[in-house]
Amino acid sequence: MSETRKATPAGSAGTEDIDWEPRTGWVGWIVFASVIMIMVGSFQAFMGFIGLFQPGYYLVDRHGLAVPVDYTVWGWVHLILGVLTIAVALGMLVGQTWARVMGVILGIVLALVNITFINAYPLWITMLITLDVLVIYSLVVHGREMRSYRDEFDDVEGSLPASVRPGTSRTGAFPPLTPH
């Protein structure tokens, strides 16, 4: 169900109708998914560094993997995917649609890459795949709500007087970082 409310955009004298859906508790799950993606990206990058600098750490050699490649290759793959995942998660936190789409794609790619790497560290990889599936579910089912939440916050912030908008004065939510 969608409702219509009146809103006055910043710098506008008139009103306009905005079609919006009420926010639910799933906005918190999108933030949770973003934080999980930051963690998963960090884990992937960490696994990449281990593959690059200490390949003997894993339980099997390269021939025991589903795709028998050198751990240096796996290290670079995990490192690149990890950094990319962190960047996408930061985009998701601000409600970017491109980040939500990339989050789903990356979740699928990470799950598939991790399945091929499962023999190297089974328990750890199973945990990462579970987190990937949880992120995919959160983004596909309720990803749109983060954007509507961000837009709703922007509408409220735009209607505040300049003296109390965050970052616009000493009384704002983000005071200047200069010493007194």
User: Would you say residue 155 lies in a domain?
Assistant: no
In this predicted model, what pLDDT tens digit does every residue of 14-54 receive, in sequence order?
A: 545 555 555 566 677 788 889 999 999 999 999 899 888 88
User: Euclidean distance between the first and final Cα of the chain, in Å?
Assistant: 51
Q: DSSP secondary-structure letter at 11?
A: T
- List the domain range (segments joined by +) for residue 106: 36-146
**Count: domains in the chain:** 1
pLDDT greater at residue 165 or residue 34: 34
What pLDDT was estimated at residue 170? 47
At 7, the pLDDT band (50, 70, 90 cuts) reads very low
User: How many CB atoms are located within 10 Å of the residue 119 CB?
Assistant: 15
Question: Which of these, 166, 138, 115, lies nearest to 25 by C-alpha position?
Answer: 138
180 or 74, which is more confident?
74
Query: Quick check: 146 pLDDT over 80?
Result: no
Whether 60 is in a domain gets the answer: yes
Spatial contact of 156 and 149, defined as CB atoms under 8 Å apart: no
Please say if the pLDDT value at position 180 is more than 80.
no
Tokens 């934080």 sit on residue: 35
**26 found inside a domain:** no
Please check whether residue 79 lies inside any domain of the structure: yes
Band the pLDDT of 2: cuts 50, 70, 90: very low
pLDDT at 6 over 50: no
**Is 106's pLDDT higher than 90?**
yes
133 inside domain: yes
Q: What is the pLDDT of residue 159?
A: 52
pLDDT for 42 equals: 95
CA distance 53 to 58: 12
| Range picked from 5-14, 54-63, 98-107, 157-166 for highest mean pLDDT | 98-107
